[in-house]
Amino acid sequence: MRNASTCARRLISVNCKFATQIWGNEVGQIQLRSLREMTERFRLSLCAGDLRLLQGSWYVTHAGLLRVASKHHCAGIQVEAIHHFCDPSLPGC
């Protein structure tokens, strides 16, 4: 049986390889360092759709938030629209 640090190192390796395959030149050393940190801390997976690279920064997807919440035995996630960042012409804002 593998220990937690071995599994974390494996996931970091898979995430970094996947990131460079998908986003190529958009993924630099800063993005890879950040990806390693998020992978180690939260065990998020690019292959599972937990993270997306948008304009050079990693963003946790809805699926990623649910994975973190589940691991921490959360009963739910409460969200609230911040109207300053919403487009009033779209439903829900």
Where exactly are the structural domains of the chain? 4-85
Task: Give the pLDDT band of residue 89 (cuts 50, 70, 90).
Answer: confident
Tens digits of residue pLDDT in 41-59: 999 999 999 999 999 999 9
> Residue 72: CB partners within 8 Å, gap ≥ 6?
none
pTM: 0.75
Q: Residues 26, 86, 67, 25: what is their CA dihedral angle, to the nearest 10 degrees?
A: 0
Longest dimension (CA), the chain: 53
Give, for 52, the enclosing helix (H) or strand (E).
Answer: strand 51-54
Tell me the percentage of the chain whose pLDDT exceeds 90: 60
Give the CA angle between residues 60, 82, 77 to the nearest 5°. 50
